[in-house]
Amino acid sequence: MTVVILDNQGHPMPSRWVKSPFPKGMHYLSGNDAAAEGALAAGCRFYAGYPITPSSEIMERMALRLRELRGVFIQMEDEIASISAVIGASWAGAKAMTATSGPGFSLMQEAIGYAAFTETPCVIIDVQRAGPCTGQATRVGSGDIMQAKWGSHGDYQVIALSPWSVQEMYDLTLGAFNLSEQYRVPAFVMADEAVGHLRESMSVNARVEIWDRKKKKGGSPFGTEEKDGVPPMPAFGEGERLLVTGSTHNELGFRKTDAPEAHAKLVERINKKILNHRSMISGTEGYFLEDSEIFLITYGFTARTSLFVVKRLRKEGKKVGLLRLKTLWPFPEEAVAEVVKRGKKVMVPEMNQGQVVGEVRKLCPGEVIPLNQTDGEVIRPETIMDELKKIW
């Protein structure tokens, strides 16, 4: 049974509550399995993918579960075909996703740019591993953070979330679908191998809130006067005169490759519809921020290690705090700026050679200390502890 929420004029709202397709209660799952269940809870009924370590378990579970839920699963010949099929399914009216890791993510970038420019809602889960290139296929890394934002050419915005637990693999995958539908934008779940293969308990509610893309009969699918900047999205087969092109286009989808005003208007809108809602999209979580003098700013699995260290040091009387980034893109500038202005020093632990640390430095008037590790292992507590001792 579906509960449809009506506005004050009796029109259906895009947000609605539905029964969870996974049983209510506590479950012991891996992060990858939890992500698949989060996608299904959000209404995903189409998956196209190609197996790649360490994300393959998502594909395996979706192949099984979509059959049970009367959805569609396709194993494609490669990652380029996978993301292309996902985009096509979205324009056919489905909530669609794929999952991959670094090399496959690289292959998808041109189509991701197409999805951003055509405002196609879709979800890509990137379970990051140690790169570059084939790298260490079974080892952990967080080297795709900048690629998520800048992987395709031109000026566009995406949404990228960073889970640190099995629970958040479920919650943030569901959230990625909702944000993707609400803002008509590709959304990424930037997991890492450690979270994807982690096993722990997670909770599932009996009902979940989901968002659906806006519909408007005869509406302009690529332009709107509404303040949110998000046009309605028809599907093929609904009777609309629908044109979808990766070239510059006007509000109705007609190519306007020689029209400066049309291009400027379109590019500005697809950026502003995300950036103007940065405060609503971005999520962070703070620990011991009120009185701290040294702050750790981090994300993903590394945030678990960092919190362990912070709690231990607080017991020793050290004034250390932690800001965890649940959203990577759009970057939560306001929350980071508020934290960095309080502390004397900021440390940014990352399983890469320094990607988020550059964003923090843009906002921090004080010293920002990177802690980088790229050996295919998670950053251990003693490593962070040793670096903090050097500061003191």
- Per-residue pLDDT at 9: 42
Q: Is residue 51 located within the same domain as residue 176? A: yes
Q: Is residue 324 located within the same domain as residue 199? A: no
Please name the residue that has the structure tokens 């046009």.
Answer: 231
CB distance 135 to 192 below 8 Å: no
Q: Is residue 30 located within the same domain as residue 169? A: yes
* Amino acid of residue 45: R
- Per-residue pLDDT at 13: 56
Which residues of the chain fall below pLDDT 50? 1-12
- Confirm whether 308 is domain-assigned: yes
Q: Which two tokens stand for residue 388?
A: 């903090």
- Confirm whether 44 is domain-assigned: yes
pLDDT tens profile 121-135: 999 999 999 999 999
- Confirm whether 219 is domain-assigned: no
- Confirm whether 240 is domain-assigned: no
- The angle formed by the CA atoms of residues 135, 141 and 143, to the nearest 5 degrees, is 85
Cα–Cα dist 214/11, whole Å: 12
Structural domains counted in the chain? 2
305: CATH? 3.40.50.920
- Confirm whether 239 is domain-assigned: no
- Per-residue pLDDT at 2: 36
- Per-residue pLDDT at 383: 98
- Per-residue pLDDT at 117: 98
Q: Which structural domain, as residue segments, surrounds residue 303?
A: 287-391
Cα–Cα dist 303/17, whole Å: 31
Mark which of 211, 232, 250 sits at the end of a domain. Answer: 211
Q: Is residue 160 located within the same domain as residue 62? A: yes
Cα–Cα dist 57/61, whole Å: 6
- Per-residue pLDDT at 343: 72
Q: Is residue 176 located within the same domain as residue 46? A: yes
Q: Which two tokens stand for residue 41?
A: 């809870």
- Per-residue pLDDT at 101: 98
Looking at every residue in the chain, the average pLDDT score rounds to 95
Mark which of 157, 188, 211 sits at the end of a domain. Answer: 211
Mark which of 152, 184, 211 sits at the end of a domain. Answer: 211
The reported pTM is 0.95
